[in-house]
Structure 1
């Protein structure tokens, strides 16, 4: 995880699976619910319409019992190359996930660009670790035989 540019965090990870499978993990509600968020968090999806302009309304349940309502809108979907969404509740930021084919393996570049510098500085300490845990959980899902 690095701070890259103004108000932006970037994580990169390589997974030993084809990028079509990574893209599916990002765009299948059943799979997305299993890995999205830092370690110890679970999700309840209230609405998810995976198309440009489609809303994703969900509650993240923290390991301490706290609940975090979230509202996102999908901006761009380019199978199997890219998913872009705007997080519009609480801290506002854009997530851009890029999936690069590495001869059957996939490099995921996870970019999180905050709208506001003050919010970025507030969120940066926990987002840096949370984004890494998010990618850890994605990797764990991708190694399961039943997906």
Structure 2
């Protein structure tokens, strides 16, 4: 009997930035290039985003040790400023597809983000919980740097 259990990772994160800036960080390839990937010193080598329902994204990045990674998927729901939902997969793991849902709510000081990476089947080699938290820490730094401009 196979592993039919689908796991989910849920992360609530507060950004000290306006909702518009957080939305742009998820939807503008120029901003995505500055924070995508869980390695603090990793570098995005390409980011293609077609942010519309049925549109696709593909983001490639390289770790400091030279390992290259490409994540891609299809946007299932795009509610400007409010929510994104998309499929998620790695080029290195064909056929292993999961689903990401991200919701954004304005707060008096910043933006609350509700993040769910679901339909995880346990087949991926990636530690998503730790990886996403490190990735959001990078996004915190990018948003803080923009706020001081």
TM range (shorter): 0.7 to 0.9
Matching residue of 1:134: 135
RMSD between aligned alpha carbons? 2.1
Q: Which residue of 2 aligns with 1:81?
A: 82
CA contact (8 A) 2:28 2:49 kept: no
Distance 1:130 1:115 in 2: 14
Moved over 4 A (4+): none
Matched, 1:97 2:90: no
Looking at structure 1, the residues matched to 35 and 62 of structure 2 have their Cα atoms a distance apart, in angstroms, of 13
**In the alignment, structure 1 residue 22 sits paired with structure 2 residue 22:** yes
Which runs of structure 2 are paired with 1:1-147 in the superposition (5 Å)? 6-38=6-38, 39-45=40-46, 47-89=48-90, 90=93, 91-116=96-121, 118-119=122-123, 122-123=125-126, 126-145=127-146
Deviations 1:1-21 (A, max 9, x none): xxxx94100111111222111
Give structure 1 stretches of 5+ with no counterpart.
Answer: none
| Shift in Å, 1:104 | 4.3
Secondary structure at the counterpart of residue 22 of structure 2: helix
Q: TM-score, normalised by structure 1?
A: 0.83
List gaps (5 residues or longer) in structure 2. none
Give the direction of change, closer, same or farther, for the CA distance of 1:46–1:137 in structure 2 (3 Å limit).
closer
